[in-house]
A and B are shown apart, each in its own frame.
Chain A
């Protein structure tokens, strides 16, 4: 049975009709065409579906749409500035942190969350903050470098 759910997505108010046990990830991708967050493992291990929920990174494959009612959700798309990449996204591109690219939207969201709380993280702090995001191309060294460069631009 479908119900109506409203929440804020990337700065604008959205409303969708959906069964209450759909995951937030399914709603974003299938009903709202926001395809930054990806489904890989579907069980909280890979981080490809990471979004911000009320300012904190969470896994959208493990949040029910009914739990997101009234929340503020930001996906990797939400950090774009007037259609251009922001400093974090630019740093990932410039430091060749992107290989196949599949995991990157999740990494972007985790990085944005880290830098908003800690503008100058140590390598250890970066690793801890990104431990929930897996890159199967294993490009971690360049990802960490990209986060450091993005932090320098603060």
Chain B
């Protein structure tokens, strides 16, 4: 079916959207910013006769902090994220990831909830949210539930979302001293590319020495689903960050991955660059810690 023949139902508010989903479960698909959905509808990979447009639900576009927890409404755009002073100071890894997604034009439309709902293994907000141990809130017309992000992704492009549910919020702990984190991705050109490999890391620094007392490493685009490199994390924990320690940790992360070859890169190439990406990320964290300690 051509995109122009698809029926579009526009929801005015969340309650409206949830009751439409409840009433018509006949294959209606959600569309938010549309930067993936419209392309998929054009090329035929999104098969649907009906789209429920939730792009302008006022209730789901917010970024706020309650205590140490940051809450992001699912319809917040990447521009909302990159322009948020609070996220720039309390979660730069998510800001870094959002800034590298598509172009400014894409960032002005695309939403964080859409990135999760689209569930691409190369979705760039997913590794930071994995490393942050984020929770996803989903809602239907009568109840809401909170799902740890890692449980939300069930397999390649498969998520734990019922046909009558909408992703409404993402929440996680703020990243502040002694915590830090960063996001890196590798692609074919700077800006505006789909990740070949992406990596997010969140660490807790030991008070003395170059050591992490806690560390989370998430890798994107090198497995059917974004995943946490737990053996790599275990290896890095409480170990002095000498050069060969970081390289070894990278090799372990590489062994944990299961990339495929596609038109963007071969599996071998993807596996080979993971240690470099991890090295660069840890180096960035060491650097920013040194700078913050300078008098």
Please report A residues at the B interface, Cβ cutoff 8 Å. 1, 19-23, 26, 42-45, 47, 50, 53, 56-59, 61-64, 66-67, 69, 110, 113, 128-129, 131-133
Contact = CB atoms under 8 A, between A and B. Distances in A.
Nearest to A131: B191
B3 to A, nearest CB: 5
Contacts of B42: 42-43
Contact of A1 (B7, B38, B79): B7
Contacts of B106: 44, 59, 62, 132
B6 interface: yes
Given A44-B39, A56-B79, A63-B109, A20 B8 contact: yes
Contact of A43 (B39, B79, B103): B39
A132 B103 contact: yes
Contacts of A21: 3-8, 41, 51
B39 A131 contact: no
Contacts of B10: 20, 66-67, 69
B104 A131 contact: yes
A110 B104 CA distance: 9
A36 to B, nearest CB: 15
Contacts of A20: 7-8, 10
Interface string B100-129: 001111101100000000000000000000
17 contacts: A21-B4, A21-B6, A21-B7, A23-B38, A42-B42, A44-B102, A59-B106, A59-B109, A61-B38, A62-B35, A62-B38, A64-B51, A66-B53, A67-B53, A67-B55, A132-B103, A132-B106
The 3 closest A-B pairs by CB, nearest first: A132-B103, A20-B8, A21-B6
Interface string B1-19: 0011111101000000000
A110 B56 CA distance: 23
A57 B191 CA distance: 17
Interface of B: 3-8, 10, 31, 34-35, 38-39, 41-43, 51, 53, 55-56, 79, 102-106, 108-109, 190-192
Contacts, number: 88
A67 B35 contact: no
B109 A58 contact: yes
Contacts of B4: 19, 21-22, 26
A14 B7 CA distance: 22
A22 B51 CA distance: 12
A59 B8 CA distance: 19
Contacts of A58: 105, 108-109
B5 A19 contact: yes
Contacts of A44: 35, 39, 102-103, 105-106
A2 B106 CA distance: 27
A132 B105 contact: yes
A57 B79 CA distance: 11
Contacts of B38: 23, 61-64
Contacts of B102: 44, 132
Contact of A131 (B3, B34, B192): B192
A81 B79 CA distance: 30
B53 A56 contact: no
A143 B5 CA distance: 39
Given A44-B103, A56-B79, A129-B104, 9 more contacts: A19-B4, A19-B5, A20-B10, A50-B105, A57-B105, A62-B34, A69-B10, A110-B105, A132-B106
